[in-house]
């Protein structure tokens, strides 16, 4: 048998690790700023410039933490673990470099464009079409490199971590491509291909499974490598790995509609979302059990070793979040949690606890090994652990509390049958909780800086090992499996089969939910009185998207007495057929806007956008003075109408050529109306378009009634 020698490259994992920690600190810092903005609106700085207001900053925070921090964390793990698990080098070093730098360029482009207001208006998929294409290309580069490595391996069977990496790769590719179908209008403007209910379904199929296949399954792979390594214990159950891997990826994909309970989504799809969410508990817990039980016989080490402490809390947070998630999918619980801070607490248990702590544990394990030294300070790492845990608690508990408090206030009726509290009463009650939450986040961030210091010191005291050598015999051509091997080992020998099977398994749920929603007419009953937006309203809607209003305002009134009394008739599926993209939102920091049209006068909106506190004392909304200076981008009207018509919005043929005329007419009308109220504003300003849009919202159906 001839033994082959090869090298494990450490440069790529180190680069990814540095990027992961750097973007992690940036992303979390933005989160802390956004958290304080909710308590102190002056921190939006929107008096001076539009870029830092909450509506623009929050998408940068979420994108940075998910795709930059966790993304680079995934790649660190894969570039370190994959070659070692397969006894080979990474397939192609050039592709590795393209992957690394390409991904960092995407992150920078994402941050810059989002702050500038270029957004598709779909949560966690805000990036505009050129960046979407770039992501697809880099993802393919990554996939080719990963599969090249797998196909040139010297280890016959694939370890469970690699199953998770493969399934994650193929599912993320599918989700990203399907959800990003959009009609470009210009270089940095596009409209979602889907509209209304369909757009919502596709978006949350994507959004939910971005959590599943970007934040969860790759990190399970990461756990399956680093946890047994750090504990020096065998993985508890190979059988459990098989059961929970396949059940997890099959069931996860169905659960998306639980983000749309009590909305205008067809009932059958909502019920499927709930039913599959409940079935998801045990497959998720399979990962937690395999992680925790692997530590059996090593609990004495957990007391000593901060790395294992991080892993234990991470896995426990994973277990908590994956139990809580299905709980939130029950309709009666969702009635409380949806649009509330509960959801925010829930995702942060996952993000801070599971992704954060697992990443920190990995870094404390990995960096000393890359530099052939010991960790600079175990004590500091231990302190980081405690401070991080405190940060998570201080973050989550006030958010749970505020969610229940606001729910009980929102639904309270006086004995006379009137709503007991105004929306503003609820906002003011919740602000103190926002402050505590922001402090919790700050504490967590301080822990991260302690880690960075510790890691830098570690690197300085050691010397970087650029590559390590390994040796193994090549795989023999003719392999006969031993007669006692189990059926699943066949799949473990065939990576392409594993890839195809994964795609089939994750494809089923999506197809069954999405295809009927597009094809069966009864799912979205049309309403004759619902008409396309006027050109001015369309421009106003694009401003609404640009400023990220959907981050705080929903446009979906659920069928509850207290919502109908507060906001008006509950929303119907047919009302959204021209909404490219849908703007139902997922959080109500401000009130619902689905039927804001006509509730206040134009002058109210004018003053409110200029200085929200003047019209609504105690409001935490940022002011938008720049809308009063900027001119409406009339030149784009033509192509916007054209794009809409191509997607089936029934503007008359040739309407493009007269659209601007209509726009100016309507703008003049609004400006004249404002003048009667002693308000002077040029009809060319963006505020006019925004008022036109807001005054239109929810009116179609009132006309009919």
Partner 1 sequence: MKFYKNILIPIILFNVLFMSTIYGQADNTVAAEPAFVFDMNGVLMIVAILLLIPLALLGSLFSYEIKRFLNELKSSNHGKSGMIILLLFSSIGLYAQDAVAAKAPSGLFQNFNGQTYTLLFLIALEILVMVFFIYQIFKILRPKLDLTATERQPSWWDKMNAFRPIEEEAVLDAGHNYDGIRELNNMTPPWFTITFLGSILFAIVYMYRYHYAHSAPLSIQEFDMEMKAAAKEDEIRLSLQANQVDENNVKIMDAASIDAGKAIFEEKCAACHQKHGGSMPGGVGPNLTDAYWLHGGGLKDIFKTIKYGWPEKGMIAWQDQLSPVQIAQTANFIHSIKGSNPANAKEPQGDVYKEEAAAAEPAKVDSAQVKK
Q: How many residues bind partner 1 (CB under 8 A)?
A: 91
Number of neighbouring beta carbons within 10 Å of residue 21: 23
- Of the pair 65, 573, the CB lying nearest partner 1 is at 573
- Of the pair 136, 669, the CB lying nearest partner 1 is at 669
Number of neighbouring beta carbons within 10 Å of residue 675: 12
CB of 219 to partner 1, least distance (A): 17
CB of 403 to partner 1, least distance (A): 12
- Of the pair 173, 366, the CB lying nearest partner 1 is at 366
Which residues from 444-463 bind partner 1, rule CB under 8 A? none
Which residues from 69-98 bind partner 1, rule CB under 8 A? 81, 84-85, 87
| Distances from the Cα of 433 to the Cα of 428, 429, 587, angstroms | 10, 8, 16
Pick from 5, 477, 521, 678: which binds partner 1 (CB under 8 A)?
678
| Distances from the Cα of 237 to the Cα of 51, 294, 491, angstroms | 50, 8, 18
CA 316, CA 288: separation in Å to the nearest integer?
A: 7
CB of 138 to partner 1, least distance (A): 27
C-alpha 112, offset from chain centre:
18
Which residues from 378-437 bind partner 1, rule CB under 8 A? 390, 393, 397-398, 401, 404-405, 408, 413-419, 422, 428-429, 431-433, 435-436
Site string for partner 1, 625-664 (x = CB under 8 A): ----------------------------------------
Q: Which long-range contacts (C-beta less than 8 Å, at least 24 apart) are formed by 600-606?
A: 601/677, 602/670, 602/673, 602/674, 602/677, 602/691, 602/695, 603/674, 603/677, 603/679, 605/690, 605/691, 605/694, 605/695, 606/674, 606/679, 606/681, 606/687, 606/691
Which residues from 362-381 bind partner 1, rule CB under 8 A? none
CA 345, CA 438: separation in Å to the nearest integer?
A: 12
- Of the pair 278, 452, the CB lying nearest partner 1 is at 278
- Of the pair 186, 429, the CB lying nearest partner 1 is at 429
- Of the pair 189, 558, the CB lying nearest partner 1 is at 558
- Of the pair 281, 658, the CB lying nearest partner 1 is at 281
The DSSP letter of residue 282 is H
Residues 6+ apart with CB under 8 A from 120: 126, 127, 128, 129, 182, 190, 192, 545, 581
Task: Decide the pairing of beta strands 467-472 and 189-192.
Answer: unpaired
CB of 49 to partner 1, least distance (A): 27
- Of the pair 571, 583, the CB lying nearest partner 1 is at 571
Which of the stretches 100-108, 181-189, 539-547, 594-602 binds partner 1 when contact is defined by CB under 8 A?
594-602
H or E segment to which residue 189 belongs = strand 189-192
Which residues from 96-135 bind partner 1, rule CB under 8 A? none
- Of the pair 478, 484, the CB lying nearest partner 1 is at 484
Closest CA to 216 of 392, 77, 72, 350: 350
Which residues from 483-542 bind partner 1, rule CB under 8 A? none
336 counts as binding partner 1 under rule CB under 8 A: no
Which residue(s) pair with 321 in the sheet? none
CA 142, CA 99: separation in Å to the nearest integer?
A: 6
- Of the pair 15, 223, the CB lying nearest partner 1 is at 223
Which residues from 149-188 bind partner 1, rule CB under 8 A? 155, 157, 159-160
CB of 656 to partner 1, least distance (A): 32
Question: From the CA atom positions of the chain, what is the Rg in Å?
Answer: 26
CB of 523 to partner 1, least distance (A): 14
H or E segment to which residue 281 belongs = helix 281-294
CB of 92 to partner 1, least distance (A): 21
- Of the pair 120, 337, the CB lying nearest partner 1 is at 337
CB of 130 to partner 1, least distance (A): 39
- Of the pair 414, 653, the CB lying nearest partner 1 is at 414
Which residues from 556-575 bind partner 1, rule CB under 8 A? 558-561, 564-566, 570
- Of the pair 10, 192, the CB lying nearest partner 1 is at 10
CB of 129 to partner 1, least distance (A): 35
CB of 556 to partner 1, least distance (A): 12
Number of neighbouring beta carbons within 10 Å of residue 309: 24
CB of 281 to partner 1, least distance (A): 6
Which residues from 283-302 bind partner 1, rule CB under 8 A? 283, 285-286, 289, 293, 296-297
CB of 405 to partner 1, least distance (A): 6
DSSP output for 302-338: HHH-HHHHHHHHHHHHHHHHHHHHHHHHSHHHHHHHT
CB of 290 to partner 1, least distance (A): 9
CB of 592 to partner 1, least distance (A): 15
CB of 122 to partner 1, least distance (A): 24
Q: Extract the tokens encoding 450.
A: 């302690």
Closest CA to 662 of 695, 694, 687, 638: 638
CB of 366 to partner 1, least distance (A): 14
CA 483, CA 566: separation in Å to the nearest integer?
A: 69
H or E segment to which residue 7 belongs = strand 4-9
Closest CA to 658 of 637, 681, 627: 637
CA 134, CA 269: separation in Å to the nearest integer?
A: 33
316 counts as binding partner 1 under rule CB under 8 A: no
Angle between helices 637-646 and 656-676 (to 10 degrees): 120
Q: Extract the tokens encoding 659.
A: 């659209």
- Of the pair 99, 411, the CB lying nearest partner 1 is at 411
Which residues from 603-622 bind partner 1, rule CB under 8 A? 603-604, 607, 614-618
Site string for partner 1, 253-282 (x = CB under 8 A): --------xx----xx-xxx-xxx-xx-xx
Task: Decide the pairing of beta strands 182-186 and 189-192.
Answer: antiparallel
Which residues from 204-243 bind partner 1, rule CB under 8 A? 225, 228-229, 234-241, 243
Q: How many CA atoms lie within 13 A of 14 on its CB side?
A: 18
Residue position matching structure tokens 């690197």: 459
CB of 113 to partner 1, least distance (A): 36
H or E segment to which residue 469 belongs = strand 467-472
The DSSP letter of residue 43 is G
Query: Residues 224, 164: contact at Cβ < 8 Å?
Result: yes
CB of 55 to partner 1, least distance (A): 24
- Of the pair 229, 645, the CB lying nearest partner 1 is at 229
Site string for partner 1, 532-561 (x = CB under 8 A): --------------------------xxxx
- Of the pair 249, 545, the CB lying nearest partner 1 is at 249
601 counts as binding partner 1 under rule CB under 8 A: yes
Q: Extract the tokens encoding 148.
A: 């090249």
Which residues from 24-53 bind partner 1, rule CB under 8 A? none
């Amino acid at each position: 048998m001839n033994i082959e020698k090869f090298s494990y490259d450490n440069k790529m994992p180190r680069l990814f690790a540095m990027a992961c920690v750097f973007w992690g600190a940036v992303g979390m810092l933005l989160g802390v700023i956004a958290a304080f903005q909710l308590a102190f609106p002056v921190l939006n700085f929107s008096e001076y410039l539009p870029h830092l207001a909450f509506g623009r900053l929050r998408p940068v925070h979420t994108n940075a933490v998910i795709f930059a921090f966790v993304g680079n964390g995934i790649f660190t793990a894969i570039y370190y673990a994959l070659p070692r698990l397969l006894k080979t080098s990474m397939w192609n070093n050039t592709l590795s470099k393209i992957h690394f730098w390409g991904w960092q360029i995407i992150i920078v482009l994402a941050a810059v464009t989002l702050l500038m207001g270029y957004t598709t208006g779909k949560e966690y998929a805000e990036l505009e079409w050129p960046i979407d294409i770039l992501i697809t290309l880099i993802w393919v580069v990554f996939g080719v490199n990963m599969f090249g490595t797998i196909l040139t391996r010297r280890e016959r069977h694939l370890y469970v971590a690699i199953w998770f990496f493969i399934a994650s790769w193929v599912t993320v590719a599918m989700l990203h491509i399907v959800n990003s179908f959009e009609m470009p209008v210009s270089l940095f403007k596009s409209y979602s291909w889907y509209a209304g209910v369909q757009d919502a379904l596709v978006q949350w199929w994507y959004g939910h499974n971005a959590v599943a296949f970007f934040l969860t399954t790759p990190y399970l792979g990461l756990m399956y490598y680093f946890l047994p390594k750090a504990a020096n214990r065998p993985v508890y159950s190979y059988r459990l790995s098989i059961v929970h891997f396949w059940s997890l990826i099959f069931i996860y994909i169905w659960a998306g509609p639980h983000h749309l309970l009590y909305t205008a989504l067809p009932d059958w799809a909502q019920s499927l979302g709930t039913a599959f969410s409940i079935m998801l508990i045990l497959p998720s817990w399979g990962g937690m059990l395999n992680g925790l039980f692997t530590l059996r016989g090593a609990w004495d080490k957990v007391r000593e070793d901060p790395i294992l402490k991080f892993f234990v809390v991470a896995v426990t947070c994973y277990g908590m979040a994956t139990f809580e998630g299905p709980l939130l999918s029950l309709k009666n619980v969702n009635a409380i949690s949806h649009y509330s801070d509960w959801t925010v607490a829930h995702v942060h248990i996952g993000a801070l606890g599971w992704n954060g702590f697992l990443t920190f544990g990995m870094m404390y394990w990995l960096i000393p090994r890359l530099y052939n030294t010991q960790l600079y300070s175990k004590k500091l790492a231990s302190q980081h652990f405690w401070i991080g845990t405190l940060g998570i608690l201080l973050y989550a508990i006030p958010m749970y509390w505020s969610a229940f408090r606001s729910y009980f206030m929102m639904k309270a009726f006086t004995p006379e049958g009137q709503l007991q509290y105004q929306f503003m009463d609820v906002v003011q009650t919740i602000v103190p909780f926002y402050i505590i939450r922001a402090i919790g986040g700050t504490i967590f961030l301080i822990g991260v800086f302690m880690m960075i210091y510790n890691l830098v010191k570690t690197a300085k005291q050691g010397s970087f090992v650029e590559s390590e050598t390994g040796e193994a015999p090549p795989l023999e051509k003719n392999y006969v499996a031993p007669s006692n091997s189990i059926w699943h080992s066949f799949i473990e020998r065939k990576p392409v089969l594993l890839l195809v099977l994964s795609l089939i398994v994750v494809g089923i749920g999506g197809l069954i939910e999405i295809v009927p929603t597009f094809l069966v007419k009864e799912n979205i009953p049309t309403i004759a009185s619902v008409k396309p937006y006027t050109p001015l309203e369309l421009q106003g809607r694009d401003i609404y998207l640009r400023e990220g209003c959907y981050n705080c305002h929903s446009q979906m009134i659920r069928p509850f007495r207290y919502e109908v009394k507060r906001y008006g008739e509950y929303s119907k599926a047919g009302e959204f057929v021209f909404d490219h993209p849908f703007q139902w939102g997922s959080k109500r920091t401000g009130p619902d806007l689905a039927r804001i049209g006509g509730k206040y006068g134009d002058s109210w909106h004018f003053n409110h956008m200029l200085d929200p506190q003047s019209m609504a004392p105690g409001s935490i909304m940022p002011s938008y003075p720049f809308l009063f200076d900027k001119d409406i981008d009339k030149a784009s009207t033509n192509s916007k109408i054209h794009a809409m018509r191509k997607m089936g919005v029934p503007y008359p043929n040739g309407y493009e050529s007269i659209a601007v005329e209509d726009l100016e007419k309507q703008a003049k009308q609004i400006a004249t109306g404002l003048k009667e109220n002693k308000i002077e504003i040029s009809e060319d300003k963006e505020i006019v378009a925004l008022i036109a849009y807001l005054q239109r919202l929810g009116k179609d159906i009132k006309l009919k009634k």
